[in-house]
Structure 1
């Protein structure tokens, strides 16, 4: 059983700084570790399964035993282990009372992530108590929190507020999804649609939703619209990769060239798109939005494919893709330096040119026709995490990226580009116009939503995998990501 928290030398040093320079008191390191746990639990997204994976004893590091951290085994008056289990079970959306290893793994991941966050937010020459008061413990309620309204109250309340706004409407049907409730409204008059759209901000305000906004979508029946209302996070149904994985075996999904399961739609049905039709994908979202989980869902979907593509992984921070280094589907090592990334991308441009020359000889217009004529050309999917960091560090990578985005589709080469900072400078016009499919997770500002989607909306999402997806040639739809664990990644790599 993994019943202890193993910290690296750097993490041990930060705990010492917190106790000595921050708290300025003789306290044990596990007291500071509990602050790390508190900081981690403020994030809406679980710790990355690769960035904070299980680690054993570290050279010159530190070990915190469970009886020190939670009081495990100390007797009823001092043993708070069940409280820790309950806290993490609610956060993780899984039962951690029946699996000791999973509980201690989660505890270690959260402590280490929290320590990492504190190290980035607190300057050691500043007042630590001020940091605690103003950053760690102040305003802990999310700006996306939905009010806790009883299920039997929300419908009548909506109808009452709509009446106050001059919107004639009746609720025809109510359907609960994993995180949202969809109300089907029948409008009395056509003009009620315009009044409803104009009144959505006031409706959100009247219901107490703040920035967790209500949205409106047209239904297919006469004078009917959908009113989509967020629910409190405590009532969300968490979807895991294990829940969705069987869907990739369905005949209609297997008929796709490169199916990727992003999670579920707002009613809980598996949400799958074909990357081959995308043909390139841009993913943007702030810290805690679920971007990392989205990328892992994409990669696991590709690994589950019977005709899995070759993968090219570029990870400037050398964190997110470390779990995939042993995959047989990799075209080469996981790339972490900007110079190596430039060389890899230039090599892919050369591969694209070779493939297109081969297709001309076969009189084939695309990869599928070339393969039908006997060509050995597997799909290649290039996944880049933190595109902004890569472009700012090595501006020259923009040239091969643009060439691939413009011309690589017919050669079976597809790009998945991700960033936490969607800006015009790091997602330039030529690259943007050649990457027609977009996924926007929660962002900080409407301008960032417009960079990703060419429209607002992502600034009002609910974090933790809530996303807007605009697939090439289709309207924008909302979906929710799934949770991917380290075990899911290991299983997919072994079976691919």
Structure 2
């Protein structure tokens, strides 16, 4: 090792020496290129000292202290941030209602502190801080700041469900405060900041100075004042949500409420400060009814009823009328009304005088003058007072030879003032198409709608629970495990299911979420998971998962909504509550027909009960009449005897088919009237009758009255289709095609949604569908033309597909108990007895007696009779060939024709003799069909 090393060293030394002396040999020349890099390094080393290296500054003695302080500061900041993040994470689990209450209580606490500092000159640091901030900013108006904070706190507590108005109120208050403080500052001499803090606090403060100083500098004080006035008015209009064109109406309404001014047509007393007692109550009631359309509709339609003969009823009516006007203005309060108040409120409502600021029509002016005269003469005017709510009159057809209605004679005999009903039509005169009888009630009947107190209220719905948070965590874990860039951004909780909104990352297909349906169901331990991709109107995928804690949706909660009170249409019905927590209602007149289908126990019967109960609560028998078909005999028996029925509840499928044919005839008669008078819809025709635009020709004995809506409900369509499929389908198709404009609407319900029950023609003409849980995907496609119903969980969970919608709305159907139904039915029965149409029941009985031996072969028998008479050849084999029936059926048809005298007796293998001629065929066919007596 040593020798070799020394050898290498001697060789390198020798090579170096040779290179220095310049004597080289062959081997030395070959090794020269390998030694060039060291030469470059040596050259670089020689050039390096040429550069001047900057001297490093001496370390500062305070650098270590600064770094220590910085480390301590960052450590404290991280610690405090971690604490607040932990508090914030815990605050996420709070109920949103608690958060809003916390904001309201914080504002209330600030109001108390500011009030203590400004009103009582609180001493100490808190008082000095309040004086410096509040008084310095608001100046002389610092006393109003606690009141403003208190009002905002009360609003947060009373209306936590209206967060949309907070932005508007904030903008309006800001503009109002700035404008007022600017005006106050100018009124106090517009002191500047150089005059001292005291001068600023005695004026408009810093806010007033900042609002007025730029305006005074740019345009002067004369123009600054109008600008600030406009800003103040703008803020006031924004806070009160009043457009400029509605200011006169709002001021008049405020004056009516405060009793400062009188509505059009209402006299004042000589004192000038109060209404007459009766008129003040009517005006206040009219104002209250403006906010309660149900009462408004009942008042405007009310007429003067017969006087109550009992003294107790009169004393009770007088006591009710002597109640304070302030109590009369409360919406929803049950109180007594006399006939003059009702007529005055109705007249004011019809002409728009109370709220529109329009002068009354001559008819209303004459009526008001007559009322005033009656008041001055001291004529007692009474009207029956119902126990629950105001009465609603049901217009009735008087006999043709009666000169005046019976109640008018009674009123005149008792010395009371008779007030005309402005909503009834005058005598009519125009040619009319003939018809037997209109749907109408008999006698002078006053009908009171059932009170909503008969329906129970439900508890408040939940917006969030611990189960929802657990599901969100499970969904997040599923996305992480399968490496899907998606996250749950929110959810909306319904009574039955909760829809979780999932937002996808960039370049993530929606199909990756739908492919995880089974994995999601496994993670949340629920077999019923429905994925909506995407949610209509949102850039998110919806995952609907059933709630572990389901909620009940009561019918009373849906009917008590403000939307239900504002819409007085009699065909508005309650459906339930959707997945977003909002209540669902639908107008049967706009559907205009609906198919309700679902398996046994899915909630179909409860839905039908809610539809019928909604109509009974909102409509009188004059508004809506019903035909109920119940082949199962147990579903609709609770409604037997209600005055809305036009015929007893039909339980025989054969009679149901005949009732549908009667509905078709009624539809045709209504269309005859529409065509004769030139109207396109039954609503326009009815309104023309009420307005007196349609007049009967002289000498006409027909009594023309508004047509009620006709609601036909078939509880089980499958039973009807099994008995008479052709007749039922033809009638349903014709009704659904044409009956909308005639005011006839159809509700079909079935628990067997197969193609032989819900045929293509029926589906094509019934645009609205309501599907409950089905047993198979095929049934869902029959009802909705798309999947989804097979994944519902039953017990009212349904999919509602209204007319014109592409995707159904998931909802939990409303529920009404049997006790509630019994209470409403009993109330309706107590009001009046049902008035049935005789032609419906008589026609059914007559047809059954004539065609009992024919059975379902009526159509074949008519075809066979026409064939035999036209050919004058009575052969059984010909009937087999022409009618495509078997030998037994052809032989039975030949026997039926023999019993009715069409063909002669059998003569063996020969053809039977034909006993009728072609001109006698029509009469025989009429007898066979039951249209004529033999």
Structure 2 matches for 1:197-346, cutoff 5 A? 197-210=514-527, 212-216=528-532, 218-219=534-535, 223-232=539-548, 235-247=549-561, 250-254=564-568, 256=569, 258-306=571-619, 308-346=623-661
Corresponding position of 2:819: 487
Corresponding position of 2:673: 358
Change (3 A) 1:473 1:316: same
Q: Is the 8 A contact 2:628 2:636 kept in 1?
A: yes
Identify unmatched segments of 5+ residues in structure 1: 1-147
Q: Is the 8 A contact 1:203 1:214 kept in 2?
A: no
Worse-superposed segment, 395-404 or 447-456 = 395-404
Q: Deviations over 1:310-356 (max 9, x none)?
A: 11000011111101012100111000112211221111100000000
Structure 2 distance, partners of 1:157, 1:249, is 38
Structure 2 distance, partners of 1:213, 1:149, is 19
Q: Secondary structure at the match of 2:516?
A: helix
Corresponding position of 2:765: 434
Report the structure, 1 or 2, having the larger helix content: 2
Q: Is the 8 A contact 2:654 2:720 kept in 1?
A: no
Count of residue correspondences: 345
Whether 1:406 aligns to 2:720 is no
Corresponding position of 2:881: none
Corresponding position of 2:803: 472
Corresponding position of 1:154: 471
Q: Secondary structure at the match of 1:288?
A: coil
Change (3 A) 1:177 1:376: same
Change (3 A) 1:415 1:218: same
Corresponding position of 2:417: none
Structure 2 distance, partners of 1:166, 1:283, is 42
Q: Is the 8 A contact 1:171 1:183 kept in 2?
A: yes
Structure 2 distance, partners of 1:303, 1:224, is 41
Q: Secondary structure at the match of 1:223?
A: coil
Structure 1 distance, partners of 2:598, 2:619, is 30
Structure 2 distance, partners of 1:244, 1:222, is 27
Structure 1 distance, partners of 2:762, 2:538, is 41
Q: Deviations over 1:52-86 (max 9, x none)?
A: xxxxxxxxxxxxxxxxxxxxxxxxxxxxxxxxxxx
Structure 2 distance, partners of 1:257, 1:303, is 9
Pairwise CA distance, 1:462 = 0.8
Q: Is the 8 A contact 2:653 2:719 kept in 1?
A: no
Aligned with residue 485 of structure 2, among 168, 172, 197 = 168
Change (3 A) 1:201 1:482: same
Q: Is the 8 A contact 2:555 2:574 kept in 1?
A: no
Structure 2 distance, partners of 1:248, 1:330, is 29
Corresponding position of 2:778: 447
Whether 1:187 aligns to 2:504 is yes
Q: Secondary structure at the match of 1:373?
A: helix
Corresponding position of 1:387: 717
Structure 1 distance, partners of 2:738, 2:637, is 29
Structure 2 distance, partners of 1:193, 1:327, is 53
Pairwise CA distance, 1:394 = 2.2
Q: Is the 8 A contact 2:772 2:798 kept in 1?
A: yes
Q: Which has the higher contact order (CA 8 A, sep 6+)?
A: 1
Pairwise CA distance, 1:175 = 3.3
Q: Deviations over 1:199-238 (max 9, x none)?
A: 334322443322x123225347763333222122xx1111
Q: Deviations over 1:386-431 (max 9, x none)?
A: 1001111222222211111111111111110001100110111111
Pairwise CA distance, 1:167 = 2.9
Structure 2 distance, partners of 1:366, 1:295, is 27
Change (3 A) 1:188 1:221: farther
Structure 2 distance, partners of 1:306, 1:248, is 17
Whether 1:422 aligns to 2:753 is yes
Q: Is the 8 A contact 1:362 1:373 kept in 2?
A: no
Structure 1 distance, partners of 2:595, 2:488, is 37
Report the structure, 1 or 2, having the larger strand content: 1
Q: Secondary structure at the match of 2:646?
A: coil
Corresponding position of 2:793: 462
Q: Is the 8 A contact 2:598 2:771 kept in 1?
A: yes
TM-score (norm 1): 0.66
Indicate the structure (1 or 2) with the bigger Cα radius of gyration: 2
Structure 1 distance, partners of 2:511, 2:647, is 54
Q: Secondary structure at the match of 2:643?
A: coil
